[in-house]
Structure 1
Amino acid sequence: MPNNLINFHSHIHLRQRLIISTLLSKPIRIDSIRSNHSNPGITDYEAGFLRLLEKLTNGSKVEISYTGTSILYQPGSLTGGNISHSCSSKSVGWFLEFILVLAPFLKHPLNLTLHGITSDPNDISVDSLRTVSLPHLSLFGISDGLELNIKKRGSPPLGGGTVIFKCPTLRQIKSLNFLDPGKIKRIRGIAHSVRVSPQLANRMVDASRGLLNRYIPDIYLYTDIYRGDEAGKSPGYALTLVAESTTGALHSAEAVSLPGTTPEDVATRASSALLEEIANKGAIDSSHQWLVLLLMSLGSEDVGRCRMGSLTPHSIQFLRDLHQSMGVAFKIKQLEQSNEVIASCVGIGYTGQRKVA
């Protein structure tokens, strides 16, 4: 057994731990995966995520126990290139969310094509990844050549969507100092619909405007209607909202149609969630705290600082995982009379696989 083996338990936070292992080239063992469940072991989509990591690397080895409740993953070297992957029963966003962090450090620029569900009630949508996640990457100097194109949309349960993600390679990312959240100056949004009446997207826009116009006048929501082969295999509609501040801070929320719900219900859920997100303050969207914390850890050997709203349980566990695997300790300073914190750390000066010309 390797001396630098990282040990974890439970299927919770599995993706983030596999990504940390892959970046650090440290083998990882995860035990007790749903060991007490009626259907124990890893799921088909978790196995699919492991297969995707194998495609992105060269020489990775995966050992899964007979019951599926234990995984030993030995990452290979980061390669990249042109890759295609089908996303089984989980959404494209579930897979791509964590691959975003891996992509800049690959040896070759990544051209990744993913097939499956593009908007799902339980996972981040490709619209949020494109409008919020990618701008968060640009805070660290990852921007030129960064693209996320939605070729086909796919609603649950049958999916049928296609997304192409392109990412350049970097030798090293820069450190972050983002302490001024600014004030919200505008709200933008995308209301999309597939295999339903286009009028449903318009109803989402009207209902959302009715709520958000009480908060700020600068609102622009546009409809994105897909038809024919580009509309996937199942009907559905969703609304993604992004609020931008005077300093470039982004806060987002989204809602996806469910059986028995109306477009007005979707708009109300998304708009209310956005206002809650804005009220949480900070310079970073709460669903992207983990992404910023990881990139701060990988940054240059300098002190990075970021102002955030109250840390989510996921972010708190992520800080523990970073300390256990990387040895990075964050200083968390609570701001007076606020739920906000200043998170700071010294990066490890991580260098990617890109060769210096």
Structure 2
Amino acid sequence: MGKTTYKRLKGSQSFRQRLVLATLANTPVLIEDIRSEETWPGLRPHEVSLLRLLEKVCDDCVVEINETGSKMKYKPGTVMGGRNLVHDCGVSRSIGYFLEPLIVIGLFAKKPISIMLKGITNDFKDPCVDTFRSTTLPMLKRFGVPSEGLGLKIESRGSPPHGGGQVFVTIPVIDKLTAVNWLDEGMVKRIRGVTYSTRVSSQFENTMIHAARGIFNRLLPDVHIFTDHKAGPHAGKSPGYGISLVAETTSGCFISADTAVSHAQGEAGEIDNDEKEELTPPENVGEEIASFLLEEIQKGGVVDSTHQGLLFLLCALCEPDVSKVRVGKLSPYGIETLRSIRDFLGVTFDIRPDPSTGTVILRCVGCGYKNLARKVS
């Protein structure tokens, strides 16, 4: 066996993209200076949990972390997949943080994945599980991912700080992704959404719906927002409420926005007592998220700003053909993803602003990534 050559990287930024791309490109990485200047140096609990999740779905992957957690080695293995897996995501970040890397890697596994993820289902930092179901999964179908075997079922909700939610995810395996020519945003034809509440009055949901509809009904008639009030064991361990909205356009694009309100948790796991008194009223939550969705629509593009990174990653992994996509203003996450894609896959994007619409058109030739692990029947 020859000596393993590691790709040397620094810092904690783009941690998820680096791990996903390292796994797919089969490139061992050595990441140094992870928050070495901060009071609490090293990897955060959610980052360690993501590494453990990768160990569950991959065979022969090797993870080495030093004592302070500020330096780690990751040597990818074969993505095996598997049925009836269970992973506790912890309460440092929500399940949404883990879903994006899991879905991308899972598509190129040897066997389809079915996994129960436990933890926080809705928070304000990451896209909530409702947004994944309504927006992310339909987006994958554009790239040739079959609907059969692709699903997300919310068994129970979990709000910060103690979580307690459970989500069952199924991911099919594919041979390759199909290149897309996705420039037409279309016009918004309907708005759908879902509100949720755990361990608080279900009236909070009606207030959020009324506030959001007050804004949307001035603009279009087809607005339906459903309620999902959880009680008992399905309500998790903490009180909270929130809303996820998605605008569907005439060309089949889905633009989403979501938020959640709960007693937040500090870095050291302490609940801040000052914060505990002042939760945003549900009426304000409904109005704010409706306005935020309208802002996302105004920016233009075929996806919202939180989905830019995933869109670019899928384009880069496509068959060796030209993919063209239109997005609004590039988000910091999208820009970081473009850099990581260049470093790991050698795929560069041609980026051209479209002054007439204020959007940006990106072109790339996919790297032709194929699922070599999948069994050929």
Q: TM-score, normalised on structure 1?
A: 0.97
- Report Cα offsets for 1:26-75 as digits up to 9, x if no partner: 10111110010011011121111101000010000011122211111000
Give me the whole-angstrom Cα distance separating, in 2, the residues matched to 1:273 and 1:219: 16
The letter of the residue matching 2:76 is P
Give me the whole-angstrom Cα distance separating, in 1, the residues matched to 2:68 and 2:202: 47
Aligned match for 1:114, one of 98, 113, 117: 117
Matched-pair identity in %: 43
Which residue does the alignment assign to 2:52?
51
Give me the whole-angstrom Cα distance separating, in 1, the residues matched to 2:334 and 2:344: 15
Give me the whole-angstrom Cα distance separating, in 2, the residues matched to 1:187 and 1:85: 33
Q: Give 1:226-265 correspondences, 5 Å limit.
A: 226-258=230-262, 259-265=278-284
Task: Give how far 1:338 is off.
Answer: 3.0
User: Contact 1:61 / 1:73 at 8 angstroms: preserved in 2?
Assistant: yes
Which residue does the alignment assign to 1:320?
339
User: Contact 1:307 / 1:340 at 8 angstroms: preserved in 2?
Assistant: yes
Aligned match for 1:224, one of 225, 228, 241: 228
Which residue does the alignment assign to 1:88?
90
Give me the whole-angstrom Cα distance separating, in 2, the residues matched to 1:117 and 1:324: 32
Give me the whole-angstrom Cα distance separating, in 2, the residues matched to 1:6 and 1:208: 48
- Report Cα offsets for 1:301-356 as digits up to 9, x if no partner: 11111111111111111111111111001111111233211111111111112122
Whether 2:124 is the aligned partner of 1:124: answer no
Structure 2 runs not aligned, ≥5 long? 263-277
User: Contact 1:237 / 1:257 at 8 angstroms: preserved in 2?
Assistant: yes
Which residue does the alignment assign to 1:354?
374
- Report Cα offsets for 1:265-295 as digits up to 9, x if no partner: 1112211110110011011221111111111
Q: CA RMSD in A?
A: 1.1
Whether 2:30 is the aligned partner of 1:10: answer no
Task: Give how far 1:12 is off.
Answer: 1.6
Give me the whole-angstrom Cα distance separating, in 1, the residues matched to 2:95 and 2:336: 24
Which residue does the alignment assign to 1:153?
157
Give me the whole-angstrom Cα distance separating, in 1, the residues matched to 2:237 and 2:95: 15
- Report Cα offsets for 1:107-140 as digits up to 9, x if no partner: 0100011011100111111011111111111111
Whether 2:125 is the aligned partner of 1:136: answer no
Which residue does the alignment assign to 1:26?
27
Give me the whole-angstrom Cα distance separating, in 2, the residues matched to 1:170 and 1:77: 15
Give me the whole-angstrom Cα distance separating, in 2, the residues matched to 1:330 and 1:104: 23
Give me the whole-angstrom Cα distance separating, in 1, the residues matched to 2:240 and 2:355: 44
Question: SS at the partner of 2:356?
Answer: coil
Task: Give how far 1:219 is off.
Answer: 0.6
Paired residue total: 356
Aligned match for 1:268, one of 287, 297, 310: 287
The letter of the residue matching 1:280 is K
Which residue does the alignment assign to 1:60?
61
Give me the whole-angstrom Cα distance separating, in 1, the residues matched to 2:335 and 2:186: 25
The letter of the residue matching 1:92 is I
- Report Cα offsets for 1:6-43 as digits up to 9, x if no partner: 22211121011101101111101111100100110111
Which residue does the alignment assign to 1:70?
71
Give me the whole-angstrom Cα distance separating, in 2, the residues matched to 1:313 and 1:193: 31
Question: SS at the partner of 2:300?
Answer: coil
Whether 2:201 is the aligned partner of 1:200: answer no
The letter of the residue matching 1:87 is C
User: Contact 1:207 / 1:268 at 8 angstroms: preserved in 2?
Assistant: yes
Give me the whole-angstrom Cα distance separating, in 2, the residues matched to 1:141 and 1:48: 30
Question: SS at the partner of 1:100?
Answer: helix
Whether 2:289 is the aligned partner of 1:285: answer no
Which residue does the alignment assign to 2:269?
none
Which portions of structure 1, spanning 4 or more consecutive aligned residues, are displaced by more than 3 angstroms?
A: none
Task: Give how far 1:98 is off.
Answer: 1.8
Give me the whole-angstrom Cα distance separating, in 2, the residues matched to 1:323 and 1:237: 39
Task: Give how far 1:235 is off.
Answer: 1.2
Q: TM-score, normalised on structure 2?
A: 0.92
Task: Give how far 1:146 is off.
Answer: 0.4
Structure 1 runs not aligned, ≥5 long? none
Aligned match for 1:186, one of 190, 210, 217: 190
Question: SS at the partner of 2:89?
Answer: strand
Give me the whole-angstrom Cα distance separating, in 2, the residues matched to 1:266 and 1:257: 8
Give me the whole-angstrom Cα distance separating, in 2, the residues matched to 1:95 and 1:336: 36
